[in-house]
């Protein structure tokens, strides 16, 4: 009898537990849910957001930090199914025009106090579709060359004001000291449209290559693409670190910061991290130069911005717009400078940041970043006319899968599973198939 | 001579056992070690075994996220899903073990086959169901999905344990006038308790570590510890120290719990219900 009683008690407890779990999930009212990634600038925004809440006591901010790819998937699902879980989403300039055309984003209309003309034109254009603005930039990045001044000095080398890829290769050969784990060059090798293919797309542009011709026919078997990939593969094989196919942005950052790379060509956002002695062992010896130029010497380079947008599924669009206007304003930049120091100011978005003498003093790489962003030219011409925009990506929805697939093929060349010619032929065939399936090409 | 061979075999087996144990534990050991390193130490090559430990990663993890909120959600979801799964699996396993039909084996195999489907294959329908029933980002929604995911394994395990209970013991109970409920609660369950306990523990561990549904069906209110860990991965910036600290904090409770109950778990898994 006692056992029977205890069984019933257990069942009651179970019911209470489930009821409790329902109660624990009750949603709060007047809350903005913000989906973001775990980048340093976002963490600062989250810390300082209490100031926004103080100024708007009726708005409570609820933060959801997700891994980059999970964030894309969650936000896509949320918007496509009109769930309305997120009021503000952090997305890149790849997604903004595509999602805007799908009707997934709310048009952003900040008030007159928001100095729109202060935002760098190339960044602003990347967040617009059909003349309307769909996101505000939180920070932006382009591509520059990082190098070790001490290693250059030791090898009797001088970094030119505008290096070429031929020179970079020669420098890398001279710096490489594999017995002491010093590798002349570190480049992204991890497969992915936002990893190795971001760098390779930018490299291809300056080598005179491009993804598609005007009839959306892939051009990966062109001589320019062969030259691009031959340079990339031979440089990494001769002077790169072992296991380069595992190295993305963070892995190369770790290698450079711990003194294992002589040259690293990557996103400008690493400047602040490499310059910070808490995170970098080479803070005193890191040098900066513009991204190298290839045989073509022109073409779009690289432009990425992490931006804040409001999905159409949000039920609190006005409050959400007020928040993103605050987080991307000049006043916010000043607030960061005040609380965290000028070096922590979100880079790459506002001309006023680069006009502040305090910022230029605190961030010696600032002028390189500004120049790289101004000349990124994502909508500019490639060697041959092209039907798409984008610098280190192709601004079409298919690019995520195409880029990742080609990225895997390129990685296979680094690990000697196929030759450059085989990789490009295979990539050409798979892209042709993908574009036919999507109906973009016949 | 025979004694010597026996001793050397025993030593060999002991060394092998320790070797395998250390090999299995090494990733957890390295994670804990990395959690006490600075970000620069965490990425240093070659990796450092000896260093000045720091709690900076833990401090930052606690500053950035409300660990207790995530931990409470995990406990609610894991315990809730396990309790409901056991409550449903006991009668299912009972009927299959003691009243088998010609379709019992087929039903068992069909149940197990649902585990072979990649979860992403049913993401969209489950997401839509959760949305339409207002169970998105709720502990109840996640607990139901976790419970349904683990139910086949739980039924299988309980079925195996129940089959080891001799039918005459249950018959004796019936002869003494026990009802079906009394027969189950007073005879069967006490006999199969080690098996039920180890099954519950396994379910608890599976729910605790479940990441796919946690990341897709929750955002803030019901996010469990797996979402807490994932939030420390960064596309731009060093994060290995903080990620290790978050992971250590997330696995610590279940690790300690598993350690305490390992005797019960091993007994249940190896000896069955009746010795």
In a domain, B208, yes or no: yes
Compute the nearest-CA separation of B56 from chain A (Å): 12
> Is there a shared CATH topology between the A31-141+304-363 domain and the A143-302+381-438 domain?
yes
Compute the nearest-CA separation of B123 from chain A (Å): 10
CA-nearest residue to B138 within chain A is A25
Q: Is A67 a residue whose pLDDT tops 90?
A: no
Q: How far is CA A441 from CA A215, A260, A386, A402, A438, in A?
A: 7, 44, 14, 14, 8
Which residues have a Cβ under 8 Å from the Cβ of B39 and sit 6 or more positions away?
Answer: A278, A279, B57, B238, B239, B240, B241, B242
Compute the nearest-CA separation of B246 from chain A (Å): 13
Interfacial B residues in 113-132 facing A (CB < 8 Å)? 123-124, 127-128, 131
Q: Do B140 and A18 touch (CB under 8 A)?
A: yes
Interfacial B residues in 202-261 facing A (CB < 8 Å)? 215-216, 219-223, 227, 230-239
Identify the CATH number of the domain in which residue B235 sits: 1.10.3720.10
> What is the reported pLDDT for B2?
62
Rounded mean pLDDT, A307-331: 94
Q: Which CATH superfamily is domain A143-302+381-438 in?
A: Periplasmic binding protein-like II (3.40.190.10)
> What is the reported pLDDT for A130?
87
What is the three-state SS of chain A?
CHHHHHHHHHHHHHHHHHHHHHHHCCCCCCEEEEEECCCHHHHHHHHHHHHHHHHCCCCEEEEEECCHHHHHHHHHHHHHCCCCCCCEEEEECCHHHHHHHHCCECCCCCCCCCCHHHECHHHHHCCEECCEECCEEEEEECEEEEEEHHHHHHCCCCCCCCCEHHHHHHHHHHHCEHHHCEEEEECCCCCCCCCHHHHHHHHHHHCCCCCECCCCCECCCCHHHHHHHHHHHHHHHHHCCCCHHHCCHHHHHHHHHCCCEEEEEEECCHHHHHCCCCCCCCCCCEEEEECCECCCCCCCCCCEEEEEECECCCCCHHHHHHHHHHHCCHHHHHHHHHHHCHHHCCCCCEHHHHHCHHHHHHCCCHHHHHHHHHCCCCCCCCCCCCCCCCCCCCCCCCHHHHHHHHHHHHHHHHCCCCCHHHHHHHHHHHHHHHHHHHCCCC
pLDDT band at residue A46 under the 50/70/90 scheme? very high
Q: Do B220 and A63 touch (CB under 8 A)?
A: yes
In a domain, B199, yes or no: yes
Q: Do B40 and A281 touch (CB under 8 A)?
A: yes
Q: Compute φ and ψ for A106, nearest 5 degrees.
A: -85, 140
Question: Which of A4, A81, A269 is the closest to B236 by Cβ?
Answer: A269
> What is the reported pLDDT for A7?
47
Of the candidate ranges A5-14, A62-71, A264-273, A311-320, the one whose mean pLDDT is the lowest: A5-14
Q: How many residues does chain B have?
A: 275
> What is the reported pLDDT for B180?
86
> What is the reported pLDDT for B258?
82
In a domain, B194, yes or no: yes
Q: Do B127 and A77 touch (CB under 8 A)?
A: yes
In a domain, B33, yes or no: no
Range(s) of the domain holding residue B92: 65-271
pLDDT in tens, A344-362: 899 999 999 999 999 999 8
Domain count, chain B: 1
ipTM, interface predicted TM-score of the complex: 0.76
pLDDT greater at residue B86 or residue B273: B86
pLDDT band at residue A20 under the 50/70/90 scheme? very low
Inter-residue contact B207 to B253 (CB < 8 Å): no
pLDDT in tens, A30-41: 899 999 988 888
Q: Do A17 and B83 touch (CB under 8 A)?
A: yes
> What is the reported pLDDT for B257?
85
Compute the nearest-CA separation of B31 from chain A (Å): 17
Inter-residue contact A183 to A147 (CB < 8 Å): no
Q: Is B250 a residue whose pLDDT tops 90?
A: yes
> What is the reported pLDDT for A72?
83
Question: Which of B76, B216, B222 is the closest to A74 by Cβ?
Answer: B216
In a domain, B216, yes or no: yes
Rounded mean pLDDT, B212-217: 93
In a domain, B1, yes or no: no
What is the three-state SS of chain B?
CHHHHHHHHHHHHHHHHHHHHHHHHHHHHHHHHHHCCCHHHHCCCCCCCCCCCCCHHHHHHHHHCCHHHHHHHHHHHHHHHHHHHHHHHHHHHHHHHHCCCCCHHHHHHHHHHHHHCCHHHHHHHHHHHHHHCCCCCCHHHHHHHHHHHHHHHHHHHHHHHHHCCCHHHHHHHHHCCCCHHHHHHHHHHHHCHHHHHHHHHHHHHHHHHCCHHHHHHCCCCCCCHHHHHHCCCCCCCCCHHHHHHHHHHHHHHHHHHHHHCHHHHHHHHHHCCCC
Whether residue B46 is preceded by a cis peptide bond, meaning omega within 30 degrees of 0, is yes
Q: Do A40 and B138 touch (CB under 8 A)?
A: no
Contacts of A33 in chain B (CB under 8 A): 219-220
pLDDT band at residue B3 under the 50/70/90 scheme? low
pLDDT in tens, A245-302: 989 898 899 899 989 999 999 999 998 888 888 778 899 999 999 999 999 989 999 9
Rounded mean pLDDT, A94-118: 91
Compute the nearest-CA separation of A244 from chain B (Å): 15
User: CATH: 3.40.50.720, 2.60.40.10, 3.40.50.300, 3.40.190.10. Which one for A31-141+304-363?
Assistant: 3.40.190.10
Compute the nearest-CA separation of B153 from chain A (Å): 21
Kindly state whether B60 is in contact with chain A, defined as any CB-CB distance less than 8 angstroms.
no
Q: Do A73 and B216 touch (CB under 8 A)?
A: yes
The domains of chain A are located at: 31-141+304-363, 143-302+381-438
In a domain, B55, yes or no: no
pLDDT band at residue A162 under the 50/70/90 scheme? very high
Whole-structure pTM value? 0.82
Q: Is A26 a residue whose pLDDT tops 60?
A: no
In a domain, B45, yes or no: no
Contacts of B127 in chain A (CB under 8 A): 77, 81
């Amino acid at each position: 009898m006692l056992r029977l009683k205890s069984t019933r008690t257990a069942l009651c407890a179970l019911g209470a537990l489930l009821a409790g779990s329902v109660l624990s999930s009750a949603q709060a009212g007047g809350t903005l849910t913000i989906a973001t990634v775990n980048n340093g600038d976002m963490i600062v925004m989250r810390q300082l957001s209490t100031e926004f809440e103080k100024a708007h006591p009726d708005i409570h901010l609820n933060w959801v930090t997700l891994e980059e790819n999970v964030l894309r998937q969650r936000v896509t699902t949320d918007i496509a199914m009109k769930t309305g879980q997120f009021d503000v989403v952090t997305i890149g300039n790849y997604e903004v025009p595509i999602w805007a055309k799908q009707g997934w984003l709310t048009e952003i209309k900040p008030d007159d106090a928001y100095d729109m003309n202060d935002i760098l034109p190339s960044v602003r254009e990347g967040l617009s579709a059909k003349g309307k603005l769909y996101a505000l930039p939180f920070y932006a990045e382009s591509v520059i060359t990082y190098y070790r001044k001490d290693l250059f000095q030791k090898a009797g080398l001088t970094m030119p004001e505008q290096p070429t890829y031929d020179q970079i290769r020669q420098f890398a050969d001279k710096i490489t000291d594999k017995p002491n784990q010093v590798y002349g060059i570190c480049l992204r090798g991890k497969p992915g449209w936002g990893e190795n293919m971001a760098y390779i797309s930018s490299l291809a542009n300056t080598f005179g290559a491009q993804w598609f011709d005007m009839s959306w026919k892939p051009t990966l078997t062109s001589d320019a693409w062969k030259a691009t990939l031959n340079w990339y593969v031979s440089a990494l094989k001769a002077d790169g670190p072992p296991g380069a196919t595992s190295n993305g942005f963070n892995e190369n950052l770790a290698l450079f910061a711990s003194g294992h790379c002589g040259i690293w060509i990557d996103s400008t956002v690493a400047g602040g991290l490499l310059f910070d002695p808490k995170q970098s062992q080479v803070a005193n010896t890191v040098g900066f130069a513009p991204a190298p130029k290839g045989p073509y010497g022109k073409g779009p380079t690289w432009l990425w911005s992490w931006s804040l947008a409001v999905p159409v599924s949000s039920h609190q669009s006005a409050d959400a717009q007020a928040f993103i206007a605050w987080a991307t304003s000049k006043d916010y930049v000043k607030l960061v400078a005040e609380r965290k120091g000028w070096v922590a100011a979100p880079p790459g978005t506002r001309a006023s940041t680069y006009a502040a003498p305090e910022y230029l003093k605190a961030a010696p790489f600032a002028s390189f970043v500004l120049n790289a962003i101004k000349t990124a030219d994502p909508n500019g011409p490639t060697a041959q006319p092209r039907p798409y925009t984008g610098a280190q990506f192709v601004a079409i929805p298919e690019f995520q899968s195409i880029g990742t697939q080609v990225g895997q093929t390129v990685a296979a060349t680094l690990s000697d599973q196929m030759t450059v010619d085989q990789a490009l032929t295979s990539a050409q065939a798979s892209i042709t198939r993908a574009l036919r399936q999507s109906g973009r090409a016949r | 001579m025979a004694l010597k061979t026996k001793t050397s075999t025993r030593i060999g087996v002991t060394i092998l056992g320790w070797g395998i144990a250390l090999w299995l534990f090494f990733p957890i050991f390295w994670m804990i070690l990395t959690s006490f390193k600075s970000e620069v130490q965490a990425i240093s090559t070659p990796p450092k075994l000896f260093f000045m430990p720091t709690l900076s990663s833990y401090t930052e993890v606690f500053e950035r996220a409300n660990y207790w909120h995530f931990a409470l959600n995990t406990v609610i979801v894991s315990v809730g899903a396990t309790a409901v799964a056991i409550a449903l699996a006991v009668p299912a396993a009972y009927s299959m073990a003691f009243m088998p039909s010609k379709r019992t084996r087929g039903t068992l195999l069909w149940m197990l086959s649902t585990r072979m489907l990649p979860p992403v294959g049913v993401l969209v329908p489950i997401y839509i169901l959760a949305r339409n029933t207002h169970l998105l980002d709720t502990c109840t929604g996640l607990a139901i999905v976790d419970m349904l995911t683990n139910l086949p394994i739980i039924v299988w395990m309980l079925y195996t344990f129940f089959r080891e209970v001799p039918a005459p013991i249950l018959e004796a109970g019936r002869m003494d006038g026990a009802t079906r409920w009394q027969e189950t609660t007073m005879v069967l369950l006490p006999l199969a308790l080690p098996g039920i306990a180890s099954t519950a523990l396994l379910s608890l561990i599976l729910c605790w570590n479940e990441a796919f549904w946690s990341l897709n069906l929750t955002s803030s209110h019901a996010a469990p510890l797996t979402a807490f860990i994932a939030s420390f991965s960064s596309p731009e910036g060093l994060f290995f120290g903080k990620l290790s600290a978050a992971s250590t904090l997330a696995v610590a409770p279940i690790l300690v719990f598993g350690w305490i109950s390992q005797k019960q778990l091993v007994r249940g898994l190896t000896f069955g219900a009746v010795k």
